Structure 1
């Protein structure tokens, strides 16, 4: 079983394919290879063959929306893109096992350092033989098949993408920062106040840079609160009674109550009481 992730803009698609190890050579004979080395037409044909050979190969996908990814990366505590990817892979493996697939070996195209990722998966699935490697989609036929399934699904999702923002854009390129078509898409779809349409991950470093340079600057109130926290933090001495300086009275003074901290529900959502509208 092999998870495979593809990139931006748009949703992230994680896919797995599972088959007997003895069928790896059969997959090669069917033309299965790293999806990046194949044309769209070739990927579609191989995907059809994978579906036709359901007697020995199966596949499953998880499509993660751009909004979910950005929300995860901006939430508190932050969930990194690597962790989102890892969680998706783990869920797909568990889903296959729950469906009755007799999994014995797992081959994974790495997201992050392969050694740490492999150790993480091995701890979660101690009875399985786990192999995590760079460029696994070009090393193991089943990973190649998973990458094809993921790429075909993502291409189809993007072709039928409906913009709720009512914009008309037919081509957004490959999704890589160096692609001129992708750059034009980002600039042409940018709103100076609301940013990009929902197809774009706001947490993508390329998108973040454009937002900072081209959009109306925003100052969040909770950012100011974070900076002022040091001044608002009460001294531990306030919680102990002490004599007033120069006083002969042994009666201790009562320290003022500490400033009440706002609940995180309000600070995380930048909510504050108002008296007028």
Structure 2
């Protein structure tokens, strides 16, 4: 049980969207709100972004961004930065994501942070964060935190809608030339078709992904 103070504490949720796809950026988002206003998130219908339809997710995302007295930070990690982290064993994808979460914690300076856990150990994860922040808030780091804590669910909606907007930019830029790009996941046949047509384009693919390498090898 987390100890609470008598004052209205600022609670921060952090979650990511787009860790696995071969196309487009990963987005790590932070959403912070005073504890006394958590009921406003309930009233908006905030829940894990994966449990919302695209239309509802966009509606709630717009409402969250329009709220007064909240703090939002979005770290957009483009494919080139992801590839550099994957090829650098001293960084790794987990390390890159943790560094972005730490940046959000430092910017928002909340009293408590509720984060979707990376890796198996909460203790190890918190220790990694603590090395990168100027002041560590009280931390609750759990798998599927976006299904448990409203602030983390709000962050998941912010992250997902931002990634969706970045994917839409890619669609607008390349669809006429290569067709639809699908979900961005390598299990999607539409995504694989787009990848086969557009694999030489820079800046949109995670070229360290095995799915990307398989397509490139099959085309050569």
Q: Is the 2:14–2:28 Cα contact (8 Å) retained in structure 1? A: yes
- Of the candidates 105, 118, 125, which is equivalent to residue 117 of structure 1? 125
Secondary structure, in 3 states, of the residue corresponding to 1:32? coil
What is the alpha-carbon distance in structure 1 between the residues aligned to residue 173 and residue 182 of structure 2? 20
Q: What TM-score, normalized by structure 2, do the two folds share?
A: 0.82
Residues 85, 162 of structure 1: CA spacing in aligned structure 2 closer, same or farther, 3 A cutoff?
same
Q: Name 2:9's counterpart in structure 1.
A: none
RMSD: 2.4
Residue 42 (structure 1) aligned with residue 56 (structure 2): yes
- Of the candidates 193, 202, 205, which is equivalent to residue 210 of structure 2? 205
- Of the candidates 28, 32, 35, which is equivalent to residue 21 of structure 1? 35
Q: Name 1:271's counterpart in structure 2.
A: none
1:63-121 superposed Cα distances (whole Å, 9 cap, x missing partner): 1111111123224x552111110000001111112xxxxx1111101222242213333
Of Structure 1 and Structure 2, which has the larger fraction of its residues in strand?
2
What is the alpha-carbon distance in structure 2 between the residues aligned to residue 42 and residue 166 of structure 1? 25
Residue 214 (structure 1) aligned with residue 212 (structure 2): no
Q: CA deviation at 1:199?
A: 0.6
- How many residue pairs get aligned? The number is 204
Q: CA deviation at 1:206?
A: 1.8
Residues 157, 44 of structure 1: CA spacing in aligned structure 2 closer, same or farther, 3 A cutoff?
same
Of Structure 1 and Structure 2, which has the larger fraction of its residues in helix?
2
Higher alpha-carbon Rg: 1
Secondary structure, in 3 states, of the residue corresponding to 1:19? strand
What is the alpha-carbon distance in structure 2 between the residues aligned to residue 70 and residue 169 of structure 1? 23
Q: Is the 1:17–1:60 Cα contact (8 Å) retained in structure 2? A: yes
Secondary structure, in 3 states, of the residue corresponding to 1:3? strand
What is the alpha-carbon distance in structure 2 between the residues aligned to residue 198 and residue 180 of structure 1? 21
Q: CA deviation at 1:30?
A: 0.8
Structure 1, gaps ≥5 residues long: 98-102, 217-277
Q: Name 1:62's counterpart in structure 2.
A: 75
Using CA pairs under 8 Å that are at least 6 residues apart, name the structure with larger relative contact order, 1 or 2: 2
1:132-173 superposed Cα distances (whole Å, 9 cap, x missing partner): 111111111111111111111111122123898997235222
Residues 198, 132 of structure 1: CA spacing in aligned structure 2 closer, same or farther, 3 A cutoff?
same
Q: Name 1:86's counterpart in structure 2.
A: 98
